[in-house]
Amino acid sequence: MSAYFAVVPAAGIGTRFGGNQAKQYAILDGQPVIAHSLQRLLDLDEISHIALVLAAHDEQAALVSAVQNARVSRVAGGAERMDSVLAGLLSLKQARDEDWVLVHDVARPLLRPNDVRELINACAQDDVGGLLAHDVRDTMKQSRANSADLRVEATVPRAGLMHALTPQLFRYGLLCDALLAARADGVVVTDESAAIERLGHRPRLVLGALDNIKITYADDLALAAFYLSAQRAQGICS
């Protein structure tokens, strides 16, 4: 029977968030974001172990109670997200190629347990794996990258477009191979699905909740607080 592990990349500094501290240590409802994100995973009995990947100079994680849980180990991260995820994977010495790994953004503190179970169930018999996602609802405009003069270059049809969320769930051996291949080719991938896609695979998309937001900018915290309150009212979390 396959086991389930999790990798949580938390080595980034979040330059778009602003301020003097990494966004994972911003306070949401009295606790740092990282505490919420880890606890959502710890509440899932299916996950046997979590590799938390931190910046080498990180001294704040040790002060977070969820980090002290016996199911959590701390790992030094790398320059890019993919390097940190790979470091987390390679630290899971007990994982076998056929086991499953959930990779979850530390800045997504509102993950719903039922969404994770839906993802696990949908991928249980899948040869590749998959990820949580939700459909694009707004009209999408494309601009010229890195241009100071932002103008519309094209309107992108939204039919079939999806927002990629996390967790993303893949077999341990396949994900290691995919990330190692990307690194060898000098390609920086921004999520695990992209690495898997480079090998010619088509990951499964599983619809996730809209409130599984990623804290990117400082004003995202107010929205996260609103969603957290709504989740508590619905009995989704304590």
Query: Strands 27-28 and 72-76: what pairing?
Result: unpaired
Count CB atoms within 10 A of the CB of residue 62. Answer: 10
The per-residue pLDDT for 63 is 94
Walking along the chain (238 residues) 10 residues at a time, the average pLDDT comes out as: 96 67 92 98 97 94 96 96 97 97 98 98 96 95 88 93 97 98 97 98 98 95 97 93
What is the spatial distance between Cα 163 and Cα 105, in angstroms, rounded to a whole number?
Answer: 14
Burial status of residue 100 (CB atoms within 10 A of its CB: 0-12, 13-18, 19 or more): buried
What is the spatial distance between Cα 49 and Cα 6, in angstroms, rounded to a whole number?
Answer: 6
What is the spatial distance between Cα 162 and Cα 137, in angstroms, rounded to a whole number?
Answer: 9
Query: Diameter of the chain by CA atoms?
Result: 55
The per-residue pLDDT for 22 is 86
Selection from 37, 6, 19, 23 nearest residue 228 by Cα: 37
Selection from 22, 18, 27 nearest residue 9 by Cα: 22
Domains of the chain: 4-233 (3.90.550.10)
Sheet holding 72-76, edge to edge: 72-76, 47-54, 4-10, 100-103, 162-171, 129-135, 204-207
The per-residue pLDDT for 15 is 58
Residues paired with 156 in a beta bridge? 140
What is the spatial distance between Cα 105 and Cα 150, in angstroms, rounded to a whole number?
Answer: 29
- Three-state secondary structure readout of 207-234: ECCCCCCCCCCCCHHHHHHHHHHHHHHC
- CA dihedral (52, 54, 58, 60) in degrees, to 10, reads -30
The per-residue pLDDT for 16 is 60
